[in-house]
Amino acid sequence: MRLHLASRNAKKIGELNRILGPLLPGLDVVGLDDVATYAEPVEDGSTFADNALIKARAGFAATGLPTVADDSGLCVDALNGMPGVLSARWAGPPRSDTRNNALVLAQLEDVADERRGAGFACAIAYVDSDREIVVSGEMRGTIRRAITGEGGFGYDPMFEPAEAPGRTSAELTPAEKDAISHRGHALRALAEALRTV
């Protein structure tokens, strides 16, 4: 099965291959850089699911390939669930993980440790000629007071998963992160949905 992932993020493509590959043998994942260029849609949905569907529908319409798209982000309890769908552009243009992390840490500077709860949320949409599937996943944890670790991407260096106490997501191996991450949960749910439809 040839599957288009509507993303240029090499780390997301790697995650999708690692997680879905063993569950859906014969899967061939291609990213945006592997297909003819098309106008990428504006992600103006109010939820992660809205944005994932916008991207998946556009990818399928442009390529004719079954398309998967995700939208995910960090939802901080003390910030009323923000940055949420604005996670990638929280600190404004140009997009920068470093600036986004610094802004969240500054916004939480005076927040007590017991109130630094947060969660990564992910919605994944799949679109082909016959169906649209949307699945979701979450990973709960807390926001550290400093950046730690070299792995992962986005907000990983300041997020300590509840299921991996003492380490940030950026300090986990890819296999450890895949087992507990919001995207890992959502991708396993997608694989199950694709096998049963």
Across the chain, what does the average pLDDT equal?
94
Task: Please give the DSSP secondary-structure letter assigned to residue 24.
Answer: S
- Residue 160: CB atoms within 10 A of its CB come to 20
Q: Taking the model in full, what pTM does it have?
A: 0.91
Rounded average pLDDT over 166-176: 96
List active site positions.
Answer: 71
pLDDT at 197 over 80: no
- Establish whether 6 is an annotated binding residue: no
- Establish whether 159 is an annotated binding residue: no
Domains annotated for the chain, with CATH where assigned, are 2-196 (3.90.950.10)
Pinpoint the alpha helices (H) of 35-164: 48-63, 97-107
- DSSP states of 167-195: S-GGGS-HHHHHHHSHHHHHHHHHHHHHH
pLDDT of residue 17: 87
Task: Please give the DSSP secondary-structure letter assigned to residue 83.
Answer: B
Cα separation of 27 and 188, whole Å? 14
- Establish whether 10 is an annotated binding residue: yes
Burial of 25 (0-12, 13-18, 19+ CB in 10 A): exposed
pLDDT of residue 12: 82
